[in-house]
Amino acid sequence: MANISLTTKTSGSGPGIVLAHGAGGGIEANFGSLIPLLAKGHKVTGSDFPGDDTPLDLDALADALVAEAATERFTIIGFSLGTAVAVRAAARHPGRVTGLVLAAGLARPDNRLRLALDLWSALLAADDRDSFARFVLASAFSPAFANGMPPEALAPTIEGIAATIPGGTAAQAALVGRVDTTGDLAGISVPTLVIEATEDLLVDPANHRYLAERIPGAEHAQIKAGHVLMLEQPEAWHRTVLEFLARHDL
């Protein structure tokens, strides 16, 4: 199992928080608005996954994330792929993980997600960034959000997505297609919040609820948004995470 090199930044002071981002995302893209709020009372570690397409292994990625943590013990906030990384980290390092927040996540991909990942892979391999961006806009956001955009905003939004596809997206998407943390869930014993994005077209909300149903004592919250819930409903996202951390003194 090869070592994985991450790019890490820390901020704030206090109890530890480790962030785990989604495939094709990044710490700033997925958590940028939340980090300043967390850093008011926590030591926050944000590690970007590798920026090349070297194949990824879930165990190695979870271990690398834990190794980068700025504190000995910490809560992990995971989004999408990051939820599987967070669960595996908790399973492999139970003495260090004190809590979990799992947003728009999955234990293993269903058939619809596998089909979407196949399309991601094909478009990335063909370097068809425009079509990739169109698919992301249509699938990663709720119908209400996408349809609520002014028509004149569509083209620049698509251009912006196409211009900012992070390196490593193909490898991260391939890892999503292989993850399976179903065997880890029953052994999770730390306070856990599962956040369901109720309008998610990319990772069906049934996958979010599966985590809540199978992690003992997990709390379940809903945010009416598509997959990228932090962009659609930032205030609800911030409030839901911060209230959970305060409630459990994490």
Res. 192: pLDDT tops 90: yes
Q: What pLDDT shows up at residue 81?
A: 98
pLDDT digits (tens, 9 = 90+) for 70-101: 999 999 999 999 999 999 999 999 999 999 99
Q: Can you tell me whether residue 214 is helix, strand or coil?
A: helix
Residue 21 predicted with pLDDT over 80: yes
The CA angle 222-227-231, to the nearest 5 degrees, is 90
Dihedral, CA of residue 244, residue 236, residue 211 and residue 18, to nearest 10: -60
User: At 231, is the pLDDT very low, low, confident or very high (cuts 50, 70, 90)?
Assistant: very high
Cα 202 to the chain's mean position, in Å? Answer: 13
pLDDT tens for 98-134 read 999 999 999 999 999 999 999 999 999 999 999 999 9
pLDDT of residue 2: 63
Q: How far apart are CA 232 and CA 148, in angstroms?
A: 11
The pLDDT of residue 144: 96
Mean pLDDT of 52-62: 93
pLDDT at 53 over 70: yes
| 1, pLDDT greater than 70 | no
Q: What is the spatial distance between Cα 155 and Cα 151, in angstroms, rounded to a whole number?
A: 8
Predicted confidence at residue 157, as pLDDT, reads 95
Q: For residue 44, give the 3-state DSSP assignment.
A: strand
Within 10 Å of residue 171's Cβ, how many Cβ atoms? 18
What does the buried/exposed string (b/e) look like for 79-88 if buried means 16 or more CB atoms within 10 Å of the residue's CB?
A: bbbbbbbbbb
Burial letters for 8-39: b for 16+ Cβ neighbours within 10 Å, e otherwise? bebbbeebbbbbbbbbbbbbebbbeebbeebb
Query: Has this prediction a pTM greater than 0.95?
Result: yes
